[in-house]
Amino acid sequence: MNSPFLRRLRVDDATAVLAGFQADSTDMSRQGEVTDLDSARQYITFVTDTAEGNHGFAVVADDDCVGVIGINGATQHRLGWFFYWIHPEFRGLRLGSAAASAAANWALTSREAGDGGFERLELGHRVNNPASGAIARSAGFIHEGTERRKFLIDGERIDVLTYGRLSTDPVPASTPLRMEV
Ligand SMILES: CC(C)(COP(=O)(O)OP(=O)(O)OC[C@H]1O[C@@H](n2cnc3c(N)ncnc32)[C@H](O)[C@@H]1OP(=O)(O)O)[C@@H](O)C(=O)NCCC(=O)NCCS
């Protein structure tokens, strides 16, 4: 894998985004409705809609988008919902952790026009998705609570663990991915 980095997600990443969703029909089904190129473009348009406070980043490796880190903003509260996914062929390489650290640091420390300027980021993950929790902690998020038995998945109710990171929380020691934004 050549030197990975993070950049803004673009509509011409639609083929790569579709490939990421199609490669993992189980876990990616909770990341959005992407089933063809049109829905991939709609997904990208939504997650990159900065007028709505949304910021979508492509995790680039081997010259292609192999994952997405996103922040869906609630601008009135300077609050963002944080999410991430990595194509199955690129998982386990700490790309998710490094990319999440970079995007969270950017969102909570930028103050330039058009940049993050968030004061709080939050996320939630199913208790049976430990890699997601490891990414959150590595990106400086703090476990805040448990939404008990939130989701009904394959007939079983699953707890969701919630995490938050404030602009006043310490920047984590983990090495962030290089950003080109
Ligand atoms: C969750 C996801 C983003 C992880 O991406 P990744 O790039 O493989 O993650 P990383 O390689 O950075 O690993 C993150 C951490 O999880 C740990 N981890 C990975 N798989 C694990 C597992 N099955 N059990 C426990 N820990 C695991 C790694 O050891 C690493 O921990 P460390 O930082 O302490 O070493 C990826 O699996 C994915 O896209 N899943 C589908 C979408 C999803 O679930 N998104 C999160 C929704 S909340």
Q: What is the pLDDT of residue 61?
A: 97
pLDDT category of residue 112 using cuts at 50, 70 and 90? low
Q: What is the mean pLDDT of the chain?
A: 94
pLDDT category of residue 166 using cuts at 50, 70 and 90? very high
- Check whether 113 has a pLDDT greater than 60: no
**Distance spanning both ends of the chain, measured CA to CA:** 21
Q: Which atom of ligand 1 is nearest to the CA of 98?
A: 12
Q: What is the pLDDT of residue 114?
A: 58
9-46 pLDDT, tens per residue?
A: 999 999 999 999 999 988 998 899 999 999 999 999 99
Nearest-CA residue for atom 21 of ligand 1:
131
Check if the beta carbon of residue 104 is closer than 8 Å to that of residue 74: no
Check if the beta carbon of residue 85 is closer than 8 Å to that of residue 20: yes
Tell me, yes or no, if the pTM score tops 0.85.
Answer: yes
- Check whether 138 has a pLDDT greater than 60: yes
Q: Which atom of ligand 1 is nearest to the CA of 129?
A: 44
- Name the class of domain 5-180: alpha beta
55-80 pLDDT, tens per residue?
A: 999 999 999 999 999 999 987 889 99
Task: Determine the average pLDDT of the residues in 137-151.
Answer: 97
Mutate to test the pocket of ligand 1, among 28, 30, 83, 97 (most ligand atoms within 8 A of CB): 97
Write out residues with Cβ below 6 Å of ligand 1: 27-28, 31, 84-86, 91-97, 125, 129-132, 134-135, 138
Each domain of the chain, given as residue ranges in start order, spans: 5-180
